[in-house]
Amino acid sequence: MKLLVAGGAGFIGSTFVEIAVARGHQVTVFDALTYRGRRENLAGVEHRFIEGDICDPAALDAALPGHEAVVNFANGSFVDRSIRNPDEFVHTNVLGTACLVEAVRRNEIARLLHVSTDEVYGSIDPPGSFSIEHRLDPSSPYSATKAAGDVYCTAAHKTYGTPVLLARMCNVYGPRQHPENLIPRFVTQLLRGEDVGLYGDGRNVREWMWVGDASDGLLTVLERGREGAMYHLGSGIERDNLTLTHELIERCGGTPAQITFVADRPGHDRRYRLDLSATEAELGWKATSVFEERLTETVEWYRRHRSWWE
């Protein structure tokens, strides 16, 4: 399949491109190369590259013809930054998504996979999990703009028959993730011998999925999913932030004394968890990685690639 991957030079996007190419797909990466997108993330991977912004209809119309499917990773994706600069997230996650959806329709592309997040649902108490029918209740500018993009995709399918598929994922971790995110931020701070700051009491819970599993799941949705459908991709592996921090300290050779507790951020959701049963039943897909092994692998990548993050 000839794929155009928007945001393909970023963390998840570059891993997706690597796996897609290995499976025989022809890939064009379309990326604005903001601070989270880096050409070096695609080193050694056969692909065509176009520098462009999904908010630019002319650039999209020039890039899309000849492709059979589009995958959209292009978005602002860090909650803290969205709180400081919400306009940036409205621009990319709302306007950009709408521009891309309309460009797909104009250019008669056969398939669009829009990648989203579990954060659009808000928080859920244990032992509950979000079903695909769960109401949207975002708590941050990031999650609100992602929810808006999702809704636009769904509406375009209902109104025009635009061939959109949606995938909502849990937290993803692995090599090449920008150090503003929790795992790489704490790893790089610990490797420098610095303290790490946990919001609130550190007991906020997240579901964690290896980036390779996430990419495999997205390819499965792209290849076998139904147009207009929503799919959940997750691992079922939960950690509260304090427990995760202790696991990182152990792998980085730090001590618990390096943990400090700081004032909580506004709108900080307590817990996310996706119900994966519908995806497993329809597509037969589930994550297979062992969290402890992949977390060690992630720490070792940052240890070996200091120049990448320093």
Q: Which residues are catalytic?
A: 118-119, 142
Is the distance from CB of 221 to CB of 280 less than 8 angstroms?
Answer: no
Of 248, 233, 230, 285, which is closest to residue 12 (Cα–Cα)?
Answer: 233
Residue 258 vs residues 6, 64, 142, 186: alpha-carbon distances, Å: 38, 49, 29, 10
- Rounded CA-CA distance 114/147 in Å is 12
Q: Can you spell out the DSSP letters for 82-114?
A: HHH-HHHHIIIIIIIHHHHHHHHHHTT-SEEEE
- Rounded CA-CA distance 1/203 in Å is 43
Q: Which two tokens stand for residue 68?
A: 């059979």
| Element spanning 279, H or E | helix 277-283
Longest dimension (CA), the chain: 57
- Rounded CA-CA distance 199/264 in Å is 5
Own/partner pairs, 22-28, CB within 8 angstroms, 24+ separation: 23/219, 25/1, 26/1, 26/2, 27/3, 28/2, 28/3, 28/4, 28/63, 28/67
Classify the phi-psi angles of 114: left when phi > 0, otherwise alpha if psi is within -120 to 50, otherwise beta: beta
- Rounded CA-CA distance 165/234 in Å is 17
- Rounded CA-CA distance 13/280 in Å is 23
Residues pairing with 72 in the sheet: 6, 114
